[in-house]
Amino acid sequence: MKILMVLTSHDRLGDTGHKTGFWLEEFAAPYYVFKEAGANIVLASPKGGQPPLDPKSDAPDAQTAATVRFNEDADALAALATTRPLKDVVDGEFDAVFYPGGHGPLWDLAEDADSIRLIEQTFSAGKPVAAVCHGPAALRHARGALGEPLVKDKRVTGFSNEEEAAVGLADVVPFSLEDELKKNGAQYVHGALWQPHVMVDGRLVTGQNPASSEAAAHAVLALLRPHVHASLPAHE
């Protein structure tokens, strides 16, 4: 079982002068879910190398068991520092693709041609594509077999307008993720503010926020190993 995790390379939060990037919990929690399931994990990003970490996600009040474990894991830190450039990713090499969030994907992965190609080819091959929080921004321009938006008529979730307003960035982000998903024909469904909420529609797995990261990873494993995960609690 080989899983590709795709992280952002974008580190500027619009014109605010503040830094952004990927959100640590949304990477660390799935990383260890996959690792403990015996997966071979490969990391990639548009530019390759060390992806930018949103500093707020490494603040004391954002720490979780997974982030603490990651920050003490020399092998994981080394893997993160040497992500593979997306252009070098070989189509068909992976059993699933997972996109952690953070605000960075709104700027780069939403528009990245290599990422769009990866999503379309992974999905058309019948393999799971998963994204958490702002990670579903990577689905923005992805198309299905008939040329329509990949998310059209699919039940999906992602960082909600309510959550974006709560963090004070509704006027900073280049587009509203919730609105964009709806514009592309998705049946957007959100859960309670900051609570775990995962949607699974066929091979497409989406999580609403950082708290949804671990559950989204388990949902991916359930698609890859249904007989192993048949006893796991079902997600919406």
Q: Mind listing the pLDDT tens digit for each residue in 95-119?
A: 999 999 999 999 999 999 999 999 9
235 in a structural domain = no
Tell me how crowded residue 65 is: count the other CB atoms within 10 A of its CB: 12
Full residue range of the structural domain in which residue 50 is found: 2-224
pLDDT for position 90 = 81
Q: pTM of the full predicted structure?
A: 0.94
What mean pLDDT, rounded, does the chain reach? Answer: 94
Position 110 in a domain: yes
Overall size of the chain counted in residues: 236
Is 203 part of a structural domain of the chain?
A: yes
Tell how many helices (H) and how many strands (E) occur in the chain: 7, 9
Residue 232 within any structural domain of the chain: no
Residue range 63-82, pLDDT digits in tens? 999 999 999 999 999 999 99
Q: How confident is the model at residue 236 (pLDDT cuts 50, 70, 90)?
A: very low
**Cβ proximity of 108 and 8 under 8 Å:** yes
pLDDT of residue 230: 40
CATH number at residue 27: 3.40.50.880
- Structural domain count of the chain: 1
Is 230 within a domain?
no
- Residue 24 to residues 6, 16, 70: CA-CA distances in angstroms? 13, 21, 9
